[in-house]
Structure 1
Amino acid sequence: MKRPTVIDLFSGCGGMSLGLEASGFDVAVAVEFDAIHALIHHLNFPYTHTICQDINHLNTDYLKGILQAKGIDEVDLIAGGPPCQGFSLMGKRQLDDPRNSLVFQYVRVIRDLQPKYFVFENVPGIAVGSHKQFLEELINEFESLGYHIAKPIKILDASLFGAPQKRKRLILMGSRHDMQPVNYPLETKEYNDVENTINDLSNIPAFIGKNESIDANKLDYSGFRRNFALKPQGIYGLCHDRQRDNLVYNHVGSNHTEKSKQRFQNTPQGEVEKTSRFLKLSPTGLCNTLRAGTARDKGAYTAARPIHYNQPRCITVREAGRLHTFPDWFLFHETIWHGFREIGNAVIPMLAKGIGDEIIKVLEVDINQLEVRKLEKIDLEFMAYNMDKASNYWNVSNDIIPKRKRLEMNVL
């Protein structure tokens, strides 16, 4: 049976793409304007047509041409989470605020392509206080395009869907007027703690300054960790087969000072270390929300990362990936800053799968009839590309994301 198709806008490294593929979708097109993140998406989804472009300049006729070349007459789903940052003064239309242009562009793509369904995800904050006006405008805009919005609007907590991380996202689910309406997924209440997620990585020293590999035979893919195995299984059983040579990458960590290690060691599990303000994870608890940190125009700061529950160090990129429910075959950029930004910006795939499963149901897809393909092997060197090399690969300007502005100092 042919898989239903999805376009992932603002795709990042591919958290939403992964969850939807796990539901049975094929990711036909992904759009991401950060050249490195787009390359990492391409690395993990080599069958997808990844576009590295600012959505403000994305021509929907170009998108239609890509779909037609793939033999796709109609898009089943468009998903994405555009940043919304600006809120106008009272009485003004907030959707017209230039700082919300990315949300407007998301609406434009929905309007032009008329997918059967769409998923819009964002921060919970747009549902409270003065931001409510913006959310109401957005819903009205979708309804004027002929979409039924599942109501009441819900904020979903990934930890209530089995993810070992406390992370909430506002989700809008839209159904085209001629399609069966889609409902929000029901919470599974499955509880998976930190230790059961990353325990097998604990005794493997973190790689410092290098992205070496781990023989997967040294890892324990039992219980909940079955989902992270190199051969897609468990919740990822419908994912296409990536070729990874039985090696696991991205167990990359920071080079802490001895003084920091001692402070980490002395901090009780589940409490905040007083100097760094980092949380030390509890083995039987959930991970706190993993955040992305700032882009390079804001100084390229890494967000606070939790301390490992029994090692005197912050968690590695691979451990963060697991706590975000990415399987071990999913690859991130080899640098800590890029890797953690990719994870912190991503939708938790396990939650995305829960959402995707509901759309698969109303599309009446028999998942037992879906093809699982073995994908072409792809160059792992993409994990190491810097912004210049990544920009050259996509033939885009290195300045698509502004560099940090530094003040000139007068020398007396």
Structure 2
Amino acid sequence: MTGPRSATLPYLRRTTYPADLAHAAQEAHAPRAPDAPTCVSVFAGRGGSSTGYHMAGFRELLAVEWDAHAAATLRLNYPGLDVYHGDIAALSVSETLERTGLQPGELDLFDGSPPCQGFSMMGRRQLDDPRNQLFQEFVRLLAGLQPRTFVMENVAAMTRGKMKQVYGEAVAALRAATPGYRTVSGVLSAAAFGVPQARERLIVIGVREDLNLTPTLPVPTCQRPITVREALTGLPDTPDGMTINDVYLPVWTRCAPGQDFGDIHPKGHLFSNRKIHPDRPSPTIVKTVGVDRQGRANGGTYHWRWPRLMTIPEIKRLGSFPDDYQFATTGDPIHDFLNAWAGIGNSVPPLMTRAIARHIRQTILQH
């Protein structure tokens, strides 16, 4: 997993991004105000959205997640958080209310990112994919909890082609959930909210009808996108990491920063392998990364200077996870690497969620 060592060199371009991210991490663990807004997260993953809500000053009362590694990661970073590890379909409204200590209508924000593989442009987009129906569990809990607001995130591909039908059904179901919700939705870029990654997410925000408020989407907070080089300021710049195998190395050598391997392969093979460009925002970090039986990389996002995958500390920066964010370990370095990468690739970037949460707090909850 490691290549030959060289002297540790800092990334040289000065930026406030590392300091801003460190400050946001401190806010995530600061004591909550007595009147802090409350939230519940379902399909919580490894904590991207949860971290964003914590950064925005919310008090998260419950996180729901079926994956064991993800649940362990949530508990590792937020030991005081109540984590429901299990199938969301088995979680009743009454148990949710009991665990949060709330009555229907008292929760401020209900958040969820239903699994998006059925919607993703990377795979087969099938209307009958059962994962496309998991939003119905979100709607079931929404109707029972009756929160003041909700946020549902998904991949931007949900708004395209045949998946528009599923998207339309999902939004209609959200609006109809008793006692009724006004909604607004749109595709937002994480780069517009201080995340050094050109990642797009579909965001649906809902407000309970009786509040008589019209929801809006947050406006961009970042005037200029943050580049990879700026984001990695202060991290070691060395060849150490998951090195590229002998099949992929010649392609990496010929590939220019910012190019996909498929662009230069004579048959267009090896697509979705990319040499990252240091002076642009990162492309979307996808959850899947390839490692062969010898523990060498054969799929993912590669460093522009060194023939290796980006490291987990680097990917955390590009996903706006704090430097000290921990991922549960198994004792197998390769398995742990893949788990951490997938957790970041599957997440809504924390700084993006923070911007959404702040917007809802300022435009809805404070009224």
The TM-score range, normalised by the shorter chain, is 0.7 to 0.9
Corresponding position of 2:232: 198
1:142 to 157, 160, 174: 174
Corresponding position of 2:8: none
Deviation, structure 1 residue 182 = 2.8
1:90-134 alpha-carbon deviations (Å, 9 max, x no partner): xxxx99985434111010000111111000111112212222222
Corresponding position of 1:225: none
**Which range moves more in the overlay, 39-48 or 277-286?**
277-286
Once the two structures are superposed, the pairs formed by residues 31-110 of structure 1 within 5 Å of their partners are 31-68=64-101, 74-83=106-115, 98-110=130-142
| CA 1:100–1:267: 2 relative to 1, 3 Å | closer
Corresponding position of 2:143: 111
Q: Structure 1 CA distance, aligned partners of 2:161 and 2:289?
A: 25
2:311 to 309, 316, 337: 316
Match status 1:272 vs 2:260 = yes
| CA 1:131–1:197: 2 relative to 1, 3 Å | same
Corresponding position of 2:45: 12
The answer to whether the 8 A contact 1:290-1:343 is kept is yes
| CA 1:199–1:119: 2 relative to 1, 3 Å | same
| CA 1:86–1:202: 2 relative to 1, 3 Å | closer
Match status 1:339 vs 2:340 = yes
Unpaired runs of 5+ in structure 2? 1-32, 120-125, 291-296, 330-335
Deviation, structure 1 residue 82 = 0.8
The answer to whether the 8 A contact 1:147-1:174 is kept is no
Q: Structure 1 CA distance, aligned partners of 2:218 and 2:131?
A: 31
Q: Structure 1 CA distance, aligned partners of 2:201 and 2:251?
A: 33
Deviation, structure 1 residue 260 = 5.3
Deviation, structure 1 residue 284 = 0.7
Once the two structures are superposed, the pairs formed by residues 4-403 of structure 1 within 5 Å of their partners are 4-68=37-101, 74-83=106-115, 98-145=130-177, 146-151=179-184, 153-179=185-211, 180-188=213-221, 189-204=223-238, 206=240, 253-257=241-245, 264-273=252-261, 274=264, 276-277=270-271, 278-293=273-288, 304-334=299-329, 335-365=336-366
Q: Structure 2 CA distance, aligned partners of 1:205 and 1:331?
A: 23
Deviation, structure 1 residue 52 = 0.6
> Secondary structure at 1:171's aligned position in 2?
strand
| CA 1:20–1:95: 2 relative to 1, 3 Å | farther
The code of the aligned residue for 1:338 comes to N
The code of the aligned residue for 2:274 comes to L
Q: For this pair of structures, how many residues does the alignment match?
A: 306
The answer to whether the 8 A contact 2:127-2:162 is kept is no
The answer to whether the 8 A contact 1:95-1:103 is kept is no
The code of the aligned residue for 1:155 comes to V
Deviation, structure 1 residue 313 = 1.3
The answer to whether the 8 A contact 2:103-2:145 is kept is no
